[in-house]
Amino acid sequence: MPWRPFAKFQSSQKFMRIPMPILEPLSFRFHWDGSIHALLLKRVTNQFASATRLFSPPPPPPPLSAASSRPSSSVVCSFSRFSEMDASGGISLYPSHRTKTIHLVRHAQGFHNVAGEKDANEYLSFDYFDAQLTSLGWKQVANLRKHVQSCGLDKRIELVIVSPLFRTIQTAVGAFGGEGYSDGINVPPLMVSNAGDCNRPAISSLNCPPFLAVELCREHLGVHPCDKRRSIKEYRSLFPAIDFSMIEHDEDKLWRPDTRETNDEVADRGLKFLKWLWTRKEKEIAVVSHSGFLFHSLSAFGNDCRPLVKDEICKHFANCELRSFVLVDRSMVGSESSTTNFPGSLPKGLDLPSDVAAEMQPEKKGVPNEDGA
């Protein structure tokens, strides 16, 4: 029987109705078919962001499993015919209430990164079990936090989703958490002081979005001890305000010492994660994850892109890099009413536009027909 560590995510009917997405450049094509695509907004002055569009084809996907392969290049290329539909390229338009913004972040530098760059065999050492951030990593977190605050993301993000490993949790609470924690305030902190002997002060859960730990966005599972998590009980004692309720087992039953996920399996898991993410009610979400997970999840969609855009998508994240996407609901699955649209005509009155009147009554006096009469 194939190894299917995330099979429980397949049981959600709401989740499974969303077709499998593929990736295509925003500037060249606009499609009326499909169910969900995403616009990765280009922020020219933003060192943490890059750009493209993610969308899905009309046919429903086959059942997903952690062991199934990602779409082949032939499947992706089969949708290249859509390019003939919009030869002009250019601008796309879609109702804002059918969109969701996500900000993808790779964790800051961990001790395993330093050791592994010097000798790749160090990734096999239990000395780096669930590796924490280095002092340089904490400086990277501080710089990301300054950026998040300066561009106003801290005021817009409604939820922070984090992979349940020490380095991602430290990055998430450091970048998106509240200011310094005070014992006089009767709320649990996001991180207790000196968590894991990090020599860092406690981080408050006040005036910041909620945090949710999700195993679906973990790094490659298996073999490397740095990617094996601690018990949820231990995490809860160190990060009291983080919600770990979506994690099924206290101990890490997904990591195996002799079996490591393939890149295709990670890419498939990334598709599952994006589909699940769409079912969330929040409109703007930050996700703090890992290099391999982010790289292979995005690379799964790069085959149908222009080379320049594909290069932007299909490259590894730097430590503490942030890139921003917009998910768009084309199928009306989980659609919500707009909070900003206004119906007009309140109170009701005569409001026939002149151009409509001309079409309805082209021969009427004072309204010229198409020949100018």
Q: What residue ranges do the domains of the chain occupy?
A: 1-373
Amino acid 70: pLDDT: 39
State the pLDDT at residue 218: 98
Can you give the pLDDT at residue 215? 97
Catalytic residue check, 249: no
Alpha helices for the chain (secondary structure H): 13-16, 73-77, 111-118, 135-150, 153-156, 166-176, 232-238, 263-278, 291-299, 307-313, 354-360
Catalytic, out of 24, 122, 215, 219: 219
What radius of gyration do the chain's Cα atoms show? 24
Q: What is the pLDDT of residue 373?
A: 43
* Residue 170, pLDDT score: 98
Catalytic: which of 103, 107, 220, 224? Answer: 107
| Count, residues in the chain | 373
Q: Which residue has the tokens 């994660």?
A: 273
- pLDDT for 363 equals 63
Contacts of 203 (CB under 8 A, 6+ apart): 173, 174, 177, 178, 180, 181, 189, 190, 191
Q: Which CATH fold would you assign to the domain 1-373?
A: Rossmann fold (3.40.50)
pLDDT of res. 82 = 35
What is residue 164's DSSP assignment? S
Residuewise pLDDT in 10s, the chain (373 residues): 555 666 655 544 444 444 544 333 333 333 333 334 444 443 333 444 433 344 433 333 333 343 334 333 222 222 222 333 343 355 668 888 888 999 999 999 999 999 999 999 999 999 999 999 999 999 999 999 999 999 999 999 999 999 999 999 999 999 999 986 565 668 899 999 999 999 999 999 999 999 999 999 999 999 999 999 999 999 999 999 999 999 999 999 999 999 999 999 999 999 899 889 988 999 999 999 999 999 999 887 667 667 887 777 778 999 999 998 877 776 766 557 788 888 888 888 888 888 887 787 766 555 555 544 4
DSSP code for 257: S
